[in-house]
Amino acid sequence: MNEHVLITGGAGFIGGYLTRHLIEHNYQVSVVDLEDNHSVNGHSFVGNLLDTSFFEAVLVQLDSAGNPVDRVIHLAAQVGREFGEDDIRHTIRENAEMTAVVAKACANHEIPLVYTSTSEIYGDWGEQICMEDGEWRLPHNLYGLTKRWGEEVAKLYWPWGLIIWRPSMPYGPGAPPGRGRRAMDNFVWHAQHGREITVHKGSERSWCYIDDTVRAMRMTIEKAQQDRFMSDIQSHMPKAYNIGRDDDPISMLDLAHKICEKVGADKSLIKVVEPPVMQTTVKRLSTEKIRVLGWRPEVELDEGLDHLIEWISDFDADGKHRSLA
């Protein structure tokens, strides 16, 4: 058995895939979430991480049971630009305050932390490639800003062995379409139901299939496991990784056209509009760090889209999953 990993937000989109992937690679996985998760091979705890005593109690309980946590992966958050603006105090608490609670508890118990940030922390650099250890500009939205603050508070409380993930455009089956959800999912959903597909002018992304995303995440953990045996203090300092692709950019307009072709929808559904003020139009991120670890994407966009289209087809026009409706 590899490390015992405790994942916060393990019932979410990335959390669910990461849990299964780590179990497949011989990790013991326990989960903390607002919802129960039955896919773990460790323990599942239901509770609110903003309750400082709750998270401390989880760590103490596992330690007392002779099953201490080797690493905490903090995924729990308020995700997304639109949802982040619905209740700004809620977003700040979920992404900033909650991370402080988790990081301080990890410091108290001397448990290495993995903090899941976002590519939104960089702001908009246009055609320039964003490097993990390079400059950054003020993020375009509260979501990105609160996640950036989360990075800093994690460094403040427990920098020793800290890993920071900055996921960029993960996609795949598992999340519902609808307001505030991934543009790709909504393109598919709207195309399937003959509704207008809104595309932001000039927008471009490199999409990364979720299986490739979580594989890169695991590889960064295994690199940290190797580093802990080194005497060099630099091997224990915080390390940030862009988790995504930089080799397959596609304009959102071309993506919309591709989806219409796959679904058999009329391309006249596509409407190009000016991007909102808080939208990062172009994302270009370096993935050199994960490639040095041996990571390469395995699922190309056409294959990934086929899986996603099959998943979204189970949602009706109101966004309800047919098996749950």
Q: Where are the alpha helices (DSSP H) in the chain?
A: 13-24, 52-64, 81-86, 88-92, 98-109, 142-157, 183-192, 210-227, 252-263, 288-292, 301-312
Q: Is 177 helix (H, G, I), strand (E, B) or coil?
A: coil
**Could you tell me the two tokens for 23?**
């179990």
Query: Does any domain span residue 16?
Result: no
Query: Does any domain span residue 53?
Result: no
Query: Does any domain span residue 27?
Result: no
Query: Does any domain span residue 232?
Result: yes
What is the DSSP secondary structure assignment for residue 119, as one 8-state letter? G
- For residue 141, give its domain range: 77-174+208-246+284-298
Q: Can you tell me the distance from the alpha carbon of 260 to that of 318, in angstroms, rounded to the nearest whole number?
A: 20
What is the DSSP secondary structure assignment for residue 96, as one 8-state letter? I
Question: Nearest Cα to 115, choosing from 45, 58, 69, 162?
Answer: 162
For 190-235, how does the pLDDT look when each residue is reduced to its tens digit (9 = 90+)?
Answer: 999 999 999 999 999 999 999 999 999 999 999 998 877 665 555 5
Query: Does any domain span residue 98?
Result: yes
Phi, psi of 163 (to 5 degrees): -115, 135
* DSSP-based helix, strand, coil % in the chain, nearest 5: 40, 15, 40
Q: Tell me the CATH number at 87.
A: 3.40.50.720
- Asked if 46 and 33 touch (Cβ cutoff 8 Å), the reply is yes
Q: Can you tell me the distance from the alpha carbon of 107 to that of 128, in angstroms, rounded to the nearest whole number?
A: 36
Query: Does any domain span residue 115?
Result: yes
- Asked if 290 and 216 touch (Cβ cutoff 8 Å), the reply is yes
Residues of the chain with pLDDT below 50 are: 325
| 31, 182, 251, 125: CA torsion to nearest 10 | -60
Instruction: Measure Cα distances from 323 to 16, 37, 41, 89, 179 in Å.
Output: 19, 19, 26, 35, 21
The per-residue pLDDT for 322 is 76
Q: Can you tell me the distance from the alpha carbon of 194 to that of 91, in angstroms, rounded to the nearest whole number?
A: 33
Q: Can you tell me the distance from the alpha carbon of 314 to that of 11, in angstroms, rounded to the nearest whole number?
A: 20
Instruction: Measure Cα distances from 281 to 132, 199, 224 in Å.
Output: 19, 11, 33
The total domain count for the chain is 1
Instruction: Measure Cα distances from 165 to 118, 123, 182, 243 in Å.
Output: 7, 16, 19, 6
Across 57-81, b (16+ Cβ under 10 Å) vs e yields ebbeebeeeeeebbbbbbbbbbbbb
Q: Is 108 helix (H, G, I), strand (E, B) or coil?
A: helix
The per-residue pLDDT for 309 is 97
Query: Does any domain span residue 92?
Result: yes
Question: Nearest Cα to 56, choosing from 103, 18, 22?
Answer: 103
The per-residue pLDDT for 224 is 92
**Could you tell me the two tokens for 58?**
């989880």
- Asked if 140 and 280 touch (Cβ cutoff 8 Å), the reply is yes
Q: Can you tell me the distance from the alpha carbon of 112 to that of 246, in angstroms, rounded to the nearest whole number?
A: 28
Query: Does any domain span residue 304?
Result: no
Q: Can you tell me the distance from the alpha carbon of 185 to that of 175, in angstroms, rounded to the nearest whole number?
A: 8
